Amino acid sequence: MSAAPSSELLSKLFGAPAAEGCLGDRARLQGMLDFEAALARAEARVGLIPAQAAQSIGRQCRAELFDLAQLADGTEKAGNTAIPLVSALTSLVGADDPGAGRFVHFGATSQDAMDSGLVLQLREYDGHLSADIERLCKALALLARTHKESVLPGRTWLQQASPVSFGLKAAGWLDAMQRHAARLSEWRARALVLQFGGASGTLASLGNRGLEVAEALSRELDLALPALPWHAHRDRIAELAAVLGLLAGTLGKMGRDISLLMQTEVAEAFEPAGEGRGTSSAMPHKRNPVAAAVALAAATRVPGLVATLLAGMVQEHERGLGGWHAEWETLPELASIVAGSLHHMAEATEGLEIDAAQMRANLAAKGGVALAEAATAVLAPRLGRPQAHEIVGRASRRALETRKTLLETLASGPAVTAHVSRADLAAALEPGAYLGMAAAFIDRVLAAHDEEER
């Protein structure tokens, strides 16, 4: 029933098997059938249809009883998946219980079955996604704690800047992931709701029993009952798209950082090694950042899909034409890509290898000029900031030209030594002494994470 079949060759690279299981055609079909079975039970509960008919309908609401190829042919003609499904279900029920067929889909419309079925799919998907977010957050919290004092160069505009700790970098990733978890929680409360409105959103075909049936149906499906049907109001779907887009962006940022740290000339952090992982077909020595590549590819693909779902919000009157249809393949693709990126990044983060010695070595490279701001800070109270900045700038350039250390060039100048001893300069140029509030920031993020864990 999908016009763009997923690739078996690429699905494990770009997807997450557990999440994909609730996004495919079988899951789409079962979601609609779960709605139809629950609708029959709800209507039997309030006395609108016989209990025996509800049981007969429920027995046939199993995806394996349906021919996907036939449903696809019917979808091509009907314009949506629910119409041929309801027809096939009615035939199955009628063959089993001739009197029950007329009660299939009683009082509902196609979009009720499709949207409520989708919500059931998304509820399961959310469970898998949230589990992987929690997994990633735990791994990041461990990195932040373990490497609270592992000093490495800060990098701004891709150039070495004043030092940071790897724990601070991990805490930054963690803080962002905790915001995404909060966004998902907020979306969950707003969006995991029933869709049941009948032809035009009034449930007129059920007379004065419509709300009663809706309440019973919401209990059957364990979905909240919204104030009114939302056929043409797609903000719930678009909100999920936006949250997934933000999540993909953070995962892409992580992937970019890790891939840069893995560069041969940097060599500060590495994705976990394994048989066949990150290998090259031509160069035996290579260790490529596979999870980072997946996250970066997802971050590249996702914005266009999010834009499609946002554009689809503009729907006509009570039931939309085209905008709703644009969701059917776009949302599963988006959800699958983001779940895959998250899954791979969680796995890589759990096994991330950190070379703290190389981090310090990189800080010391080029004579340790990355600590120039620290030198300026110790000289400024004696000389004034403008003069201190100028002196340290000249000393940094000299250190690079002569391949000496910044400490050596500063300590050789009388304009400096007249005010600061070499010992004081050496203490100021110790990377671990110039981390500012890094430890406090890490503690704040970890405290929030620990509170959430409780």
Q: Is 59 a catalytic residue?
A: no
Residue at 443: amino acid letter? D
Contact of 147 with 165, CB cutoff 8 Å: yes
| Catalytic site residue from 135, 145, 219, 319 | 319
Contact of 101 with 91, CB cutoff 8 Å: yes
Q: Is 319 a catalytic residue?
A: yes
Contact of 143 with 168, CB cutoff 8 Å: no
CA distances (Å), 131 to each of 69, 134, 408, in order?
Answer: 34, 5, 52
Contact of 50 with 8, CB cutoff 8 Å: no
Start-to-end C-alpha separation, the chain? 43
CA 165, distance to chain mean position in Å, is: 25
| Catalytic site residue from 185, 280, 412, 421 | 280
Tell me whether strands 353-354 and 159-165 are parallel, antiparallel or unpaired: unpaired
Tokens standing for residue 240: 């999920």
One DSSP character per residue, 267-325 reads -SEEPPP-TTTT--SS-TT----HHHHHHHHHHHHHHHHHHHHHHTT---TTS-SSHHH
Tell me whether strands 151-156 and 269-270 are parallel, antiparallel or unpaired: unpaired
Contact of 101 with 90, CB cutoff 8 Å: yes
CA 386, distance to chain mean position in Å, is: 46
Show the 3-state SS of 41-77: HHHHHCCCCCHHHHHHHHHCCCHHHCCHHHHHHHHHH
Residue partners of 6: CB distance under 8 A and separation at least 6: 15, 20, 24, 336
Active site residues: 280, 319
